[in-house]
Amino acid sequence: MEDYHKPDQQTLQALKNIASRLRINSIKATTAAGSGHPTSCCSIAEIMSVLFFHTMKYHPEDPRNPNNDRFILSKGHAAPILYAVWAEVGFLKENELLNLRKIESILEGHPVPKQQFVDVATGSLGQGLGAACGMAYTGKHFDKASYRVFCLLGDGELSEGSVWEAMAFASYYQLNNLVAILDINRLGQSDPTPLQHHVEKYLRRCEAFGWHAAVVDGHNVEELCKVLGQTRHQPLAIIAKTMKGKGIPAAEDKMGWHGKPLSKDMAESVIKELQGRIVSGSKRISPSPPNEDASPVSLRNVRMPSEPSFKVGDKIATRKAYGMALAKLGRNNDHVVVLDGDTKNSTFSELFKNEHPDRYVECFIAEQNMVSVAIGCAVRERNVVFASTFATFFSRAYDQLRMAAISESNINVCGSHCGISIGEDGPSQMGLEDLAMFRAIPTATIFYPSDGVSAEKAVELAANTKGLCFIRTSRPENNIIYNSGEDFHVGQAKVVYKSSDDHVTVVAAGVTLHEAFAAAEQLKKDRIPIRLIDPFTIKPLDGKTIIDNARATRGRIITVEDHYYEGGLGEAVCSAVVNENGFTVHRLAVSQVPRSGKPHELLQAFGIDRDAIVQAVHKMLSGSANSK
């Protein structure tokens, strides 16, 4: 309360005028587009007016200035009013709004970062607050700057569990630089929301999650100015009671209008009425500039201080090598930060936490929120972010990972405990779908290291690779196969075992590469030499190396993977060689839901161990002989 100064009547009228203009431009844009969500925009016009023209501090000509207050429109379908705001401040030309949703326009149906004033893509509901938590955590603990973070949510998305994961996170870390505004307009897409206008229930829920909460009339600019002007020691939730379609008489607080633009005639009539509410001659107001206290950050050339310390023949699990690599990378780079979902003693991210506790963020068992927080920490290139948990648990955060790609995010995620080789814990803990998940994401790079040296190199490369990076690590300890000075590159495979007269090319990674080594030694005794390829990255896959070496083995390829058949290494190799004549690919993978057992028992039972490889080689060669 001590920071609040009541605005004068001229300022309040100017804010009302802006709200009317925001409604007008939202209606114009959606009517011109023939699609969009004008009623969802109209419920938040006063909120957007007060936020952008009274509360937030930012440089309107430089939307991504690191000192600016941040804003996330979690209810991304209200994008037209966000665009209207940026036209109001002069960053966009007003006539550009009429190109909404056109293929040549940057003003897409939902916010995306190709727009300079958008940090993270929204539209898949329930994710904005998690990203806002990452921004707020960065501001408070890493940047130690005064910028604040504002997130505007719709009441429909409050049914998403990810919102409440974010609420718990913000409360636990006392993110008092974070403000969530809940647009309680009562109506969802096809039905009223569960709590409708029972704002007192929202109040109790937010308070139960450890937030300071306040109920306001979301169409009263003075109430909004007052609540947004208060300083708190907790995150602030503003429960704004609003009317969907406010200012559109035929649609106000009525079902059946979600996602429907106004007809041209109706739009003209409503716009005329809204223009009549604008008081001419009132003062113009502009955003206040921010405090200039966010230091410049450079994330270029993030390098390890030295080469890996492992020796050929040593044994280490790639999951442990990952943790060691994080700690090492953090010594040289103050902006490397690590998140984990209460698995740090399994993923070995605890090694980073032990050495760099101020740059470790515990996200607890809330994987959806962890990915969103990672996205928020990475925006505006403030941090190099790694987030880890068991590979299989990223499946519940797949929508967040998908949105990371749309957000053009540069986060790095590591999934440990991949495949049946984890053993006794059983199928609920086994990552067997993860390669398929990440291969389907356009911006993803997939690292699958097979020893400690390649794991360390993968961490370093991921830190310098644009887009979403996934590092797949394994539980079992395996031999170091590479010298510490070995050079690795994204999209470059390694031929790790060969002779001049190899009969079959075997492509394997992680645990199965070590099984393939054992199979090669066994086959050598039978005078059947084979060639082994470690792909290192599954995406992009080094198709050229695979094809060139397979030609030397008369087109015979066997793939072996600790993953389900669908979407993994085998399918990636098949895609790479599909246009090659005379090539045969035989795939070994996990064919059904597995069970508990010792790792070697499971590898044998599901046909991806050394004996299975030997049998597959014999079968392939006998098949070739029979075909002749």
HEC assignment per residue over 109-155: CCCCCCCCCCCCCCCCCCCHHHHHHHHHHHHHHHCCCCCCEEEEEEC
Residues 143-156 have pLDDT tens digits of 999 999 999 999 99
Q: Is the pLDDT of residue 4 over 80?
A: no
Q: What is the mean pLDDT of residues 173-192?
A: 98
What was the pLDDT predicted at 310? 98
What was the pLDDT predicted at 374? 99
Q: What is the mean pLDDT of residues 520-542?
A: 98
What was the pLDDT predicted at 627? 60
Task: Give the whole-angstrom CA distance, residue 267 versus residue 272.
Answer: 8
Q: Is the pLDDT of residue 2 over 60?
A: no
How would you class 628 by CB atoms within 10 Å of its CB: exposed for 0-12, middle for 13-18, buried for 19 or more?
Answer: exposed
What was the pLDDT predicted at 301? 83
**CB neighbours (10 Å) of residue 492?**
14
Taking a C-beta distance cutoff of 8 angstroms, is the pair 413, 386 a contact? yes
Residues 438-466 have pLDDT tens digits of 999 999 999 999 999 999 999 999 999 99
Q: Is the pLDDT of residue 626 over 70?
A: no
Q: Is the pLDDT of residue 556 over 50?
A: yes
328 phi/psi in degrees, rounded to 5: -65, -45
Q: Is the pLDDT of residue 628 over 60?
A: no
Residues 343-368 have pLDDT tens digits of 999 999 999 999 999 999 999 999 99
Residues 244-255 have pLDDT tens digits of 999 999 999 999
Taking a C-beta distance cutoff of 8 angstroms, is the pair 461, 507 a contact? no
Which run of H or E residues covers position 452? helix 452-463
Residues 17-33 have pLDDT tens digits of 999 999 999 999 999 99
Using a pLDDT cut of 70, give the percent of the chain over it.
Answer: 99
Give the confidence band of 282 by pLDDT, cuts at 50, 70, 90: confident
Task: Give the whole-angstrom CA distance, residue 115 versus residue 261.
Answer: 23
Q: Is the pLDDT of residue 615 over 60?
A: yes
Q: What is the dihedral of CA 6, 9, 10, 12, to 10 degrees?
A: 70
Using a pLDDT cut of 90, give the percent of the chain over it.
Answer: 96
Which run of H or E residues covers position 592? none
Residues 225-244 have pLDDT tens digits of 999 998 889 999 999 999 99
How would you class 64 by CB atoms within 10 Å of its CB: exposed for 0-12, middle for 13-18, buried for 19 or more?
Answer: middle
Residues 511-523 have pLDDT tens digits of 999 999 999 999 9
Give the confidence band of 281 by pLDDT, cuts at 50, 70, 90: confident
Which is the catalytic residue, given 108, 367, 456, 571?
367
Q: Is the pLDDT of residue 300 over 90?
A: no
Residue with tokens 């995406």: 539
What was the pLDDT predicted at 16? 97
What was the pLDDT predicted at 1? 41
Residues 64-84 have pLDDT tens digits of 999 999 999 999 999 999 999
Q: What is the mean pLDDT of the chain?
A: 97
Regarding pTM above 0.85, the answer is: yes
Q: What is the mean pLDDT of residues 164-191?
A: 98
Task: Give the whole-angstrom CA distance, residue 467 versus residue 421.
Answer: 29
Task: Give the whole-angstrom CA distance, residue 40 versus residue 77.
Answer: 7
Give the confidence band of 44 by pLDDT, cuts at 50, 70, 90: very high
Angle between helices 398-406 and 367-378 (to 10 degrees): 20
The mean-pLDDT minimum among 3-7, 211-215, 310-314, 381-385 falls in: 3-7
Query: Closest by alpha carbon to 278, among 242, 243, 241, 247?
Result: 247
Give the confidence band of 283 by pLDDT, cuts at 50, 70, 90: confident
Q: Is the pLDDT of residue 373 over 70?
A: yes
Question: Is 367 part of the annotated catalytic residue set?
Answer: yes
